[in-house]
Amino acid sequence: MDKGIVMEVLSSGNVIVLTKDGQFLSVKPHSKVEIGEEASFKLLEKDRQYQAIFANHKIRWIASVAAIFLLLLVGIPGWFGLDSNVDKVAAYVTVDINPSVEIAISSKETVLQIEGINEDGKKLVQTIRDSIIGIPVAQATSILLQESEKLGYIKANAEVVISTTRLIEDQTFEKNIEDQVKRAVADQLKKVTNVSITTVETTAQVREDAQKSGLSTGKYAIYLMTKNKNQEISIDRFKNQSISEIAKDRDDLKQILGKNITAEIVEQWHDKQESKNDEKEEKKELKDQGGKQNKNDDQKVDHKKENGKNEEKQEVKIELNQKRTSGNKQDDEIKNDRKEQKDDRNKKDEKDKKDNEKNDGETKHKNQ
């Protein structure tokens, strides 16, 4: 898809545009535009050669002067970095059937970009991207649904969820977008049996969280509301199944679908879920801290037991040493007693010997 700044609107319905590479072309825009706005158009290379009007020096000179004046006055958005409301995203719309698709909408209610959220959505977008950039959102929605039917995504009892995320202050703008998309879906699917359409208004924060989770904004909002009714449901189920498939066995989800859900309601459910998540985190932290404390307590008990064992061993050792010391003292005393007794006997024997010798001497003397 080519783009250019509108320099002149022709009576034929065509416009003269200035492209990024400096060419002035006469083209048919995808939507109604005015001088100074950026127009989207599709032009084959062979047509470009015929449409180029560089040969007309007079037109080229006039257009060049007009282009310079326009640059000084308003700037070219995205080309020279000058700020402008042109091409800025004013809202995001998601459409969920089974393919999940997000469309970026300008303040002119035209399509700026389209992206597939899941695999089916990416496959769908590949076939329609070039044909819907720059056209009104209602027309783009019709093309999206037509292609979805061709690819077999739309069946009886389908659940279609449409979400809008407004980035500007104009609430009327969001309501217009929502009504256009819903009307386009209803018109396109009027031949399909029992189609339920749920519209959801969301905030930029909910959209950001949805992107982190890998879901479209609409599907994420439905998940939040279902999760608040039943904490057991898994986000993976919303990633892997369509809303219709999930709703078959879930009364809590059926109570939500088919209604118009405001941003205030979604925000309330979002805040509740955030609070529950925070509460879970706090409990987990306390549990982890408790586990660490128990481990520390166990270590302290083990340490005390070990110290007790060591003290007991030390006491036994001291007692044994005392016994050994006491035993040694008793042995020494016995040895000393025995030595004293021996010494006494030796002294007595010595004395007896001397007395005998003395007596023998006296006897010999008398006999002489």
- CA 15-18-20 angle, 5° bins: 140
Per-residue b/e over 157-184, b at no fewer than 16 CB within 10 Å?
ebbbbbbbbbbeeeeebbebbbebbbeb
Q: How is the beta sheet containing 260-261 ordered, strand by strand?
A: 111-116, 100-105, 91-96, 159-166, 196-202, 260-261
DSSP state of 218: H
Reported as a single tens digit per residue, the pLDDT across 4-43 is 888 888 888 888 888 887 778 888 887 778 888 888 887 6
The segments of the chain whose pLDDT lies below 50 read 53-55, 57-58, 77-85
Q: How is the beta sheet containing 38-41 ordered, strand by strand?
A: 24-27, 15-19, 2-9, 38-41
Would you state the pLDDT for residue 292? 63
State how far the Cα of 193 lies from the Cα of 159, in Å rounded to an integer: 11
Reported as a single tens digit per residue, the pLDDT across 103-145 is 999 999 999 999 999 999 999 999 999 899 999 999 999 999 9
Distances (CA, A) of 353 to 15, 156, 253, 340, 348: 159, 142, 129, 20, 8
Model pTM?
0.56
Q: How many CA atoms lie within 13 A of 233 on its CB side?
A: 24
